[in-house]
Amino acid sequence: MEKCQFCGRPATVHMTQVVNNKTTVIRMCNECAAKHGLFDKEGLPFAMLSGLGEALFSGMKQNLSASGLICSKCGCTPMSFKETGRLGCPHCYKDLKLLIDGIIESSQKGTIHKGKYSREGTMAATTPPNDSFTDTSTKRHPRKLSTEEKLNELQGMLDAAVKAEQYEEAARLRDEIKTLKGSKGVS
Amino acid sequence: MNDFAKKLFQDSKLVKETIPVVVSSRIRLARNLADFKFVKYACKGDLHAVAERCEKVLASCPIFTNSTILNMGDLLDHEKLALVERHLCSQEFIMEANESKLFFTDDHLTSIMINEEDHLRMQVFRPDLNFKTMFDKINAIDDHVSENLNIAFDNRYGFLTACPTNVGTGMRASVMLHLPALVITKQIGNLILAVQKLGFVVRGLFGEGSEAQGNFFQISNQQTLGFAEVDILSRLTQIIRSIIDYELNAREIVKKEKIIWLYDNIGRALGILRGCYCLTPTDAINCISLMMLAVDLGYLPNMLRGDLQQVMMKIQSSHIQVLENKVLNTSERDIKRAELLREFFSTVPNLKFD
């Protein structure tokens, strides 16, 4: 199950926002959603009541600074990142995921690492055949992915499919992930 | 010459075996130790510990058998700047140099910055376009490093870096190109736009934030996440190859349509270099750029190409101060620069126009 991006509990609210053709998915648990003003006391989403999706989005943006998002290891916050342009420590990639995914989306084309793997010894597979830099027509041997890498890739594709609202594709990917996880013995 | 100057002026292989248009290429990998805060947030003690660990591991790497290790804090300002002029380290690296160390090999083809923006910034250079060889080399260093240090890595994000714009491969590959004909024929603006559209960046002689001087342009990859190293490198190679073709075509056009202009500019530039007594860095680089074009077009002997790059390196402001072993003001440097250039270009044969 997806986790709340703010507190890590199981997410029950999945909000997809489209602003200037950019789609952002935010996942939250009920409590965090309420904290951010996305639900009223009866549990009805305000967005649906008022239809003010954009107003909510600007609310979310402010909340990114004021949401209490903070790295538990080094204390880096979205504010300090804004000031220095640098993250505090490797753990920031976990605790400030919401911030980082936003930056990655605007600065990078991909969202999943496809290069060298550290300490896994997979480098041989990513090293190109001798002539691939000189002969542009040479096809690279496809790399064999470990189950974990494959899962990561599928998860990324699933996220992308959800973002693009291609639900049939998303369902297919979800099933594939399930099967793969089953075969790996992961619950 | 003091020890530092000797290390700096030892024959760099980077200016030998040069080819037209391509000045040099570089691959840089950014890595961080998993158990420490990134440099900007780390305390002095942490930075010291990072430097010690990295130094120990790097010293045992076979590639650094013949190399120099510098404590950046021990160096004078112009010495640090001279290392930037040589591209052995970055401008950012010398700003806060307290716990920073620099490794570089005697041939100046490999350098490692410890405690730059990331704990480790490893770079390899070549005087031509051969990413395959360079990648094998830097990959071997990286393997050695990751076998001996706990490197910050995440299955989804790849190598974790202080700035998310480097995350993933942590790799930046760049090529320095000499594109005088594209500048003369005013095609350079369109080319820059086209390259940017492909997700690559065009910068000046000293990378980030620097302006183009003397028709030199640095092209590098923007994205680091979502592509394998080999894919980034082969795309960059393809782009560079087509830029080289454009430049060579533009040179033919200039020869056809602006030949008198070309002779006049090259002839005057050599005149300046032989007769100057006070020359600014920009004027010097622009004149040398025309001499490099003259070599490529066959107006000067081919063997001069490497020497020209060597001279261009030597006449930079901080190199002059290292050579003189003292701090000089701007006009003192301009005078010394002119002296070095007069001396070198008096030995250069006369131009042989077609």
Give per-residue pLDDT as tens, B62-107. Answer: 999 889 999 999 999 999 999 999 999 998 899 876 789 999 999 8
Residue B132 gets which letter from DSSP?
Answer: H
| Cβ neighbours of residue B107 closer than 8 Å, sequence gap 6 or more | B12, B13
Q: What are phi and psi of B35, to 5 degrees?
A: -95, 10
> What's the pLDDT score for residue A98?
86
| Cβ neighbours of residue B27 closer than 8 Å, sequence gap 6 or more | B123, B124, B131, B134, B135, B138, B171, B172, B173, B233
The whole-angstrom separation of Cα B75 and Cα B94 is 10
**A126/B171 CB distance under 8 A:** no
> What number is the average pLDDT over the span A102-123?
76
CB of B277 within 8 A of CB of B340?
no
Provide the pLDDT confidence category of residue B271 given band limits of 50, 70 and 90: very high
The whole-angstrom separation of Cα B186 and Cα B131 is 29
DSSP states of A89-155: STTHHHHTHHHHHHHHHHH-S-SS--SPPTTS--HHHHSPPTTTTT-TTPPPPPPPPPHHHHHHHHH
Return the bridge partners of B71, or none: B101
The whole-angstrom separation of Cα A116 and Cα A125 is 9
pLDDT-wise least confident of A156-160, A181-185, B44-48, B189-193: A181-185
- Chain A neighbours among B 77-136 (CB < 8 Å)? 117, 130-132, 135-136
**A93/B224 CB distance under 8 A:** no
Provide the pLDDT confidence category of residue A31 given band limits of 50, 70 and 90: confident
Chain B CB contacts of A133 under 8 Å are 130-132, 233-234, 237
**pTM score over 0.80:** no
**A148/B227 CB distance under 8 A:** no
Q: At what angle do helices A167-184 and A147-163 cross, to 10 degrees?
A: 160
Helix (H) or strand (E) holding A175: helix A167-184
> What's the pLDDT score for residue B11?
65
Provide the pLDDT confidence category of residue A169 given band limits of 50, 70 and 90: confident
Could you read off the pLDDT of B305-324 as tens digits, one per residue? 889 988 999 999 999 999 99
Chain B CB contacts of A86 under 8 Å are 38-41, 117, 162-163
- CB-nearest to B230 from A88, A93, A128 is A128
Percent of chain B scored above 70 by pLDDT? 95
- CB-nearest to A115 from B163, B164, B229 is B229
Provide the pLDDT confidence category of residue B208 given band limits of 50, 70 and 90: low
Could you read off the pLDDT of A53-63 as tens digits, one per residue? 333 344 444 45
Per the listing, tokens 């490797």 go with A90
With 90 as the cut, is the pLDDT of residue B31 above it? Answer: yes
Is the CB of B155 inside 8 Å of chain A's CB atoms? yes
With 70 as the cut, is the pLDDT of residue B234 above it? Answer: yes
Could you read off the pLDDT of A100-110 as tens digits, one per residue? 888 888 888 88
Percent of chain A scored above 90 by pLDDT? 5
Is the CB of A115 inside 8 Å of chain B's CB atoms? yes
> What's the pLDDT score for residue A56?
39
> What's the pLDDT score for residue A17?
57
> What's the pLDDT score for residue B204?
78
Picking from B221, B234, B236, B242 by the largest number of A CB atoms within 10 A of its own CB, the best residue to mutate is: B234
> What number is the average pLDDT over the span B20-33?
95
> What's the pLDDT score for residue B12?
65
- CA–chain centroid gap for B30, Å, is 17
**A86/B164 CB distance under 8 A:** no
Chain B CB contacts of A93 under 8 Å are 154, 157, 160, 167
Is the CB of A171 inside 8 Å of chain B's CB atoms? no
> What's the pLDDT score for residue B295?
95
The whole-angstrom separation of Cα B285 and Cα B279 is 10
Instruction: State how beta strands B22-31 and B120-126 pair.
Output: antiparallel
CB of A144 within 8 A of CB of A125?
yes
With 90 as the cut, is the pLDDT of residue B296 above it? Answer: yes
Provide the pLDDT confidence category of residue B113 given band limits of 50, 70 and 90: very high
pLDDT-wise least confident of A13-17, B136-140, B221-225, B319-323: A13-17
> What's the pLDDT score for residue B251?
96
Per the listing, tokens 């990286």 go with B142
Chain B CB contacts of A72 under 8 Å are none
With 50 as the cut, is the pLDDT of residue A94 above it? Answer: yes
- CB-nearest to B226 from A110, A136, A140 is A110
With 80 as the cut, is the pLDDT of residue A125 above it? Answer: no
CB of B318 within 8 A of CB of B91?
no
Helix (H) or strand (E) holding B126: strand B120-126
> What's the pLDDT score for residue A166?
75
Chain B CB contacts of A76 under 8 Å are 41
The whole-angstrom separation of Cα B242 and Cα B170 is 26
Is the CB of B36 inside 8 Å of chain A's CB atoms? yes
**B226/A143 CB distance under 8 A:** no
> What's the pLDDT score for residue A157?
81
Higher pLDDT, A119 or B268: B268
What is the rounded (10 degree) CA torsion for B319, B320, B323, B328? -120
